[in-house]
């Protein structure tokens, strides 16, 4: 049992992790989504559980098995994910949002499959709720962590997101980083705080990124709660 050799420094803590993509259906057989593998979030859930935390993992559609000791809630759309995360987060000490949530969904969900039409087609989309920002509005003592992938001005944009969403920190990465893209086992992230301070981490396995993320979150939790 690996948990016996791991320090149980998260015992008694309730952690919620979101992972994977969301699917925004246009009709019963078509959806908008993205290539998120869920690996980062599953790594966070696995490590938190092995350190003794009570973990709820809210996952979009991914091809991953549930880590030992983790309670998993499967969802599809951003609205489903919002419901599941908010329910689990009510009693949580730490929420880690690794999910790649679609920013928009179809304005009107067709109940029947639509046949193709002319040479061009316009789909009207409406904005999805920002789950992390919603948690940030009634934050209490909870520690909130986000992820952001940026193509440019990463630190500035991530710090701005941390401020807007009232997150304690954001782990930033770039889609162009070799071997760390969607689906990779490694990740190269920069820790970015709302005050704009940042700290690049070396390229690490997603499990090691998860360990360091949880170390940082635990430190903030201890300072806040005592």
Interface positions with Ca ion (CB under 5 A): 103
Residue 132 touches which member of Ca ion, ligand CTP, none, C-beta under 5-8 Å by kind: ligand CTP
Q: Does 103 bind ligand CTP (CB under 6 A)?
A: yes
- Angle at CA of residue 18, ends 131 and 226, nearest 5°: 85
Which residues touch 37 (CB under 8 Å, ≥6 apart)? 20, 62, 63, 64, 182, 183
Residue 130 touches which member of Ca ion, ligand CTP, none, C-beta under 5-8 Å by kind: ligand CTP
Q: Is 130 assigned a ligand-binding role in the annotation? A: yes
Phi, psi of 222 (to 5 degrees): -65, -40
Is there a catalytic annotation at residue 173? no
CB 132, min distance to ligand CTP, A: 3
* Alpha-carbon separation of residue 185 from 25, 99, 135, 204 (angstroms): 29, 16, 29, 9
Q: Is 186 assigned a ligand-binding role in the annotation? A: no
Cα–Cα distance between 9 and 53 in angstroms, integer? 8
Q: Does 44 bind ligand CTP (CB under 6 A)?
A: no
Residue 94 touches which member of Ca ion, ligand CTP, none, C-beta under 5-8 Å by kind: none
Which residues are registered as beta bridge partners of 187? 204
* Active-site hit among 34, 63, 173, 187: 34
Please count the other Cβ atoms lying within 10 Å of the Cβ belonging to residue 168: 20
Residues annotated in the binding site for CTP, as ranges?
Answer: 103, 113, 129-132, 147, 161, 165
Footprint of ligand CTP on this chain (CB under 6 A)?
A: 78, 97, 99, 101, 103, 128, 130-132, 146-148, 161
């Amino acid at each position: 049992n690996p948990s016996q050799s791991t320090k149980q420094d998260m015992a008694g803590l309730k952690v919620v992790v979101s992972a994977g993509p969301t699917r925004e259906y246009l009709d019963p057989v078509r959806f908008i989504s993205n290539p998120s593998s869920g690996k980062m979030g599953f790594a966070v859930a696995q490590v938190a559980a092995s350190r003794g935390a009570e973990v709820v993992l809210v996952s979009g559609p991914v091809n991953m098995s549930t880590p030992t000791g983790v309670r998993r809630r499967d969802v599809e759309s951003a609205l489903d994910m919002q419901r599941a995360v908010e329910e689990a987060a009510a009693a949580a000490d730490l929420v880690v949002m690794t999910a790649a949530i679609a920013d928009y969904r179809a304005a009107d969900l067709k109940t029947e499959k639509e046949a193709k039409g002319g040479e061009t087609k316009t789909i009207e989309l409406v904005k999805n709720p920002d789950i992390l920002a919603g948690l940030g509005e009634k934050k209490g003592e909870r520690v909130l962590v986000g992820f952001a992938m940026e193509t440019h001005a990463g630190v500035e944009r991530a710090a701005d997101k941390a401020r807007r969403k009232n997150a304690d920190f954001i782990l930033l990465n770039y889609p162009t980083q070799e071997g760390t893209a969607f689906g990779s086992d490694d990740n190269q992230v920069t820790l970015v705080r709302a005050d704009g301070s940042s700290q690049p981490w070396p390229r690490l396995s997603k499990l090691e990124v998860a360990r360091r993320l949880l170390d940082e979150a635990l430190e903030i939790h201890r300072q806040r709660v005592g």
